Structures are given as C-alpha cells and as structure tokens.
Amino acid sequence: MSTGTDDATANLGRRRGRRPAGEDTRGAILAAARDEFAERGFDGASIRSVARRADVDPALVRHYFRDKAELFAAGMIPEGADPAAIASGLVGDGVDGLGARLLTAVLRVWEADGGVAFRVAFAGMTAGELQAEALVGYVGREVFGQVARVLPPPDQQLRVSLVASQMVGVLMTRHVLQLEPLASMPVDAVVALVGPTLQRYLSGPLT
Amino acid sequence: MSTGTDDATANLGRRRGRRPAGEDTRGAILAAARDEFAERGFDGASIRSVARRADVDPALVRHYFRDKAELFAAGMIPEGADPAAIASGLVGDGVDGLGARLLTAVLRVWEADGGVAFRVAFAGMTAGELQAEALVGYVGREVFGQVARVLPPPDQQLRVSLVASQMVGVLMTRHVLQLEPLASMPVDAVVALVGPTLQRYLSGPLT
C-alpha cells in the first residue's frame, strides 16, 4: 500500500491535517493505546478507539501495527526501546555471558519508565488468550528468534521458554507483585543472582 | 463475633434460609468471586456483589474472608487446595530437595483445574496495586512464611523472593503465555528442568 514508512506517515498524517509530520506519531499512538487498554481492557479497545484517542486516522494506526494484538504487544515495550535492535546487539557476542547481558538489557528496558508499561500491559490483560498469543508472537519474533539462533541444538525452543519463564517472573516480582527484597534491588545485583540461572537455561546442561 | 466456624456458618446461612448448612459455602463464595472479578475486574467487584452472586448474606462472605483483597487472593487457589497445609507438609522434610517438592506441589495445584484459577486472577488484575499486595500477603502468610523458616540465614527473604520469581514465571509461561514446549510438558519434566534453579535459590550459594 505504501512506498516507504516516512512517505506513508507523512501522507496519512497530512491528509487529515491532524498531526504535523515531524511528530513521533508511532509513539503518540502507543501512548493512546496504553491508556485505552488500561481503561477498557483488551476486548473493549479497538484500532478505531485508539486512533480517536491519538487523534489520527485509523489507517495510520494500521500502518504501524498489523492488528490490535500487535498494538497491545508493542505497548508493553517502553517508549524508545527497540527490542529487535537490543537483541541483535546482545547475541552478536555469542552465548557466553548472554544470560547476564540479556537480563541486564531487559531489566533496564522495563526499569526506564518505573515499570509503568509492564503494569499497564497487565491492566489490559483479560481471561482471553489473544493478548498472550500476541505477546508471545511479538517477543518471539523480535527477541527470542534471534536468541534461539545462537543456542546449542537440539533444545533451542525449550531453552528459550525456560529463559522466558525466569525473565517474566523477575519482571512480575519487581513491577507487579513488588516482592522485596528482589523488587528494589539494583539491576546489577539482580543480574548477579539470576544471571547464572539464565545462563544454565541458555547453554548449560538442562538436567 | 462467632463462637466457631461451623456455628457461624450455620447461623448466618440459615438466617436468610438461602443455602443449606451442609453445602460448601466457602467454595460457592469463591466460585462467585472468581466470576465477579473476571467480569468486573477487581475495582468493579465488591463483597456485596459477590454475596449477591453467591446468593448469601454479605456477612457470610466476611466470615470467611477478611476483605475483598483476601477474597481475591483466595480465588487464585483452585478449589480443594490448602496452601498452608501443603507448605507445612513440604517443609517438614527440611530444605534438601525442597525446590523439587515445592515446584511439584505448586504446579499440581494450578494444573488441577487446567490453569483456570490462575488465568482468572489475571483477568481481575488491574493497574491498581491492592491485589498484588493482597496476593503477596496471602501467599506470604500461607506458604512462604513456612518456607523461610527452614532456610539458612541471613538471606531468607531474598531466597523466598527469588523462588517466587521463578515459580510465578513458570505458572505464567504455562497458563497465560502458553509458551511451548514448557507450557505442555508433564509436571515431572518441568521439575527436572527448573527444580535445580529453585534449590539453588533455597539453599545454594547465591552469587
């Protein structure tokens, strides 16, 4: 449909004259989506309602995000963080020490906004399974696919799911359950404690 | 207020003539609470609305559960499971192998109903922090207090929070994210993989 990201943004943005082309349109849409999911839950929100809140055309929302599920998943990532770029940088140095590097990066990403993005994703969660699929798909594509490629065969997917289980647990403990003392420890101290677990899941003997 | 659980139940139950004394009143209240939290979220539900749904007097709900937060926390535990009794049995055999025993018990408890209770708790979660506090308080009192007592000093609370981080992560991975292959593995296979992590958090060298 569009020839390039910038052109499409500018065209779609200007056509309705709602939003100057220079502005961070994607960021504004994400911020609106977070508010919308937090208020109405996943089922109650729609591409259309997010577009209305962000004051853009729904087509512009669809330009950046394939569907509501991808919008939800992207909303879990604090502004400014690019999971794919981070993962690519981390796996570039190989599997040695990857557990500590990965955990440091993930904790810092969700630390940056005081855990708001992570908690808001929770607020939007319902008993439905669509968001879970969306999250797994998004994080899988952007991050864990890259990680899996540097892992020793044949258990790459198992290793990745174990890594995810410990990472999401640490994020839950810090930002949702707020269970002390783990909740308030500096990132480096958490990495010293939990890094060895992740490294075993990534490259150690599993049983 | 009441002289004993059975008396109070019978009196409160009979006064309105709504529910035969022999029935599992506590279970019925919990089932109603799960439905109510799932539909209205934590903020939208109330002791009164749960009582109405369970067709009992609000005083009877208060007889079993101190407040809405405790009702929410108890609703996370599938029917028939008694976390305090389970924990007490597990720690009785000391800290050796406690990681595997604890994880087996926890996975079985939430496996029993196909993960419904765990997912429903999620549906009730909002950005508010009251439920998280309630959960931490309830699970802390019922389970982790007993675990902490058999752990080597001085890091009992740190060890408990690390154990919680990995346990909640495994439960999330299986019942909410449904990330394969960890999501569908038999309990024993998960315990073989993750048990060593928990044992290190319980009694191993931490860094």
Minimal Cβ distance to A177: which of B132, B176, B181: B132
**Residue B5 reports pLDDT greater than 60:** no
B7: confidence class by pLDDT, cuts 50, 70, 90: very low
pLDDT at residue B118 is higher than 70:
yes
Residue B51 has pLDDT above 50, yes or no: yes
A101 alpha-carbon distance from chain centroid: 17
The answer to whether the CB atoms of B136 and A206 lie below 8 A apart is: no
User: In chain A, pLDDT over 90 holds for what percent of residues?
Assistant: 40
8 Å CB contact of A165 and B176:
no
Closest A-chain CA to B183: A161
Place of tokens 């899988």: A140
What is the arithmetic mean of pLDDT over B82-110? Answer: 89
Give the per-residue pLDDT at A123. Answer: 59
Distance from C-alpha of B138 to C-alpha of B106, rounded to nearest angstrom? 15
B127 vs A120, A169, A172: nearest CB: A120
Interface contact A158-B182, CB threshold 8 A: yes
pLDDT tens digits, A155-171: 999 999 999 999 989 99
Rounded to a whole number of angstroms, the CA Rg of chain A reads 18
Q: Which of B38, B172, B182 sits opposite A127 (nearest CB)?
A: B38
Helix, strand or coil for residue A140?
helix
Spell out the domain ranges in chain A: 5-75, 83-203
Write out the DSSP string of chain B: --S-HHHHHHHHHHHTT-S-TTS-HHHHHHHHHHHHHHHHHHHH--HHHHHHHHTS-HHHHHHH-SSHHHHHHHHTSPTT--HHHHHHHHHTT-STTHHHHHHHHHHHHHHTTTTHHHHHHHHH--S-SHHHHHHHHHHIIIIIHHHHHTSPTT-HHHHHHHHHHHHHHHHIIIIII--TTGGGS-HHHHHHHHHHHHHHHHHS---
Query: Is the distance from CB of A203 to CB of A162 less than 8 angstroms?
Result: no
pLDDT tens string A43-69: 788 999 999 999 999 999 999 998 888
More confident: A18 or A171: A171
- For residues B147-162, one letter each, b for 16 or more C-beta atoms within 10 angstroms of the residue's C-beta and e for the rest, the string is bbebbeeebbbbbbbb
Q: Which of A40, A136, A177, A198 should be substituted to probe chain B, the one whose Cβ sees the most B Cβ atoms within 10 Å?
A: A177
Helix axes A68-75, A116-124, angle to 10 degrees: 150
Beta carbons within 10 angstroms of residue B88's beta carbon: 13
What whole-number distance in Å separates Cα of residue A197 and Cα of residue A200?
A: 5
CB A129 within 8 A of CB B178: yes
Q: Do domains B5-75 and B83-203 have the same CATH topology?
A: no
Tell me which CATH homologous superfamily contains domain B5-75.
Answer: Homeodomain-like (1.10.10.60)
The partner residue sitting opposite B169, judged by closest CB among A169, A183, A200, is A169
Tell me, what's the ipTM?
A: 0.78
Write the pLDDT tens digit of every residue in A30-50. Answer: 889 988 887 777 778 899 999
| Interface probe with B: pick from A107, A161, A165, A197, most Cβ of B within 10 Å | A165
Pick the closest to residue A175 from A100, A116, A108 (CA basis): A116
CATH class of A83-203: mainly alpha
| Chain B residues touching residue A176 (CB < 8 angstroms) | 125, 132
- B150 in Cβ contact with B95 (< 8 Å): yes
* Pairwise CB contact (< 8 Å): A172 & B173: no
